[in-house]
Structure 1
Amino acid sequence: MNFLTFPKTLLILIALSFNTVAYAQSMTEEQNIRGVILAYGKAMNASDTNSVVALYAHDGVFMPSKEPTATGLEQIRAAYAHEFKVIDLDVKIVFDEVLRDGDIAYVRSRSEGQLTLLATGKVVPTEAYRAFFVLKKIDRKWKIARFMFNFSR
């Protein structure tokens, strides 16, 4: 064996292992980010205010379509409690984009399913629903820092 090629081979293997570790960490972070959004969807489908609020950062901001902005956990709790008196959801979250830059992540998604207007019983499909989340990592956990949604029609 040529002893000059051994160090080169070793360096290549070390470089590849660092890339593999970085890639695995990146994929794990993306899975964790997606997990927060999926937990949000599950809590929304269950009309579970406490579980929704637990996913937010303490200084989180919720900007619902056609409703006032809710800032901080107390206002966010009140906003979702109101939402769950008005609608019932049965949706699946579809991810359109997940981007991460350090301890900040951006998620663009939409929902497939339906919502029921509780006052009338009217069922409305949600394919026009679009959502945008900004998450931040706090104490090694991803939390929703900002969230807004709208309907494309």
Structure 2
Amino acid sequence: MKKNITYFGEVEINSPQETNEVKVTIDSHQIELDLNFYDGVPEYDWVAEYENYTKGLKQYKADVEAAIRSDYEDGGDVKEYIDFHLEELDASIIDKVLASTDASKPKEERLLSALKLVRIGFYPGEENYAVWDYSIGREIADMLVVVNTDSTGKINYVTWES
């Protein structure tokens, strides 16, 4: 049985493809969305759960970005990500990334503000229901700041990975 799913269009809901991908614009930035069923289709109404999550997407994005800032301020993984890139990237690359940021702020703050949402992966039936990936630029660095939420938007954890 096919259903029209927000962002993805027509999807076979009882036996969807293992991964469904689409590019969308959120807050005037193009990002990738993917809907993943690596462990099969959940027994419950995953479509309703997904649709409910997408209704809160803007608020969840605000919450995720607040968690990123909080993790940075607490000296967590995001601070480590920022420090790593300031140390490892060539100064000319850092300058390019920082070009559109507020020059009156410290480099660390500016690099933090350069983090942009690049992907949200949805995993119906999983504890980490939505995986939010942020980058300073995929052409610049393969490392991502990653925030995992449950199906209600509650943040499970913030980390960085490649």
- Determine if the TM-score, normalized by the shorter chain, exceeds 0.5: no
Report the TM-score, using the length of structure 1 for normalisation: 0.37
Which structure dedicates a bigger proportion of its chain to strand? Answer: 1
Pick the structure with greater CA Rg. Answer: 1
Which structure dedicates a bigger proportion of its chain to helix? Answer: 1
Report the TM-score, using the length of structure 2 for normalisation: 0.36
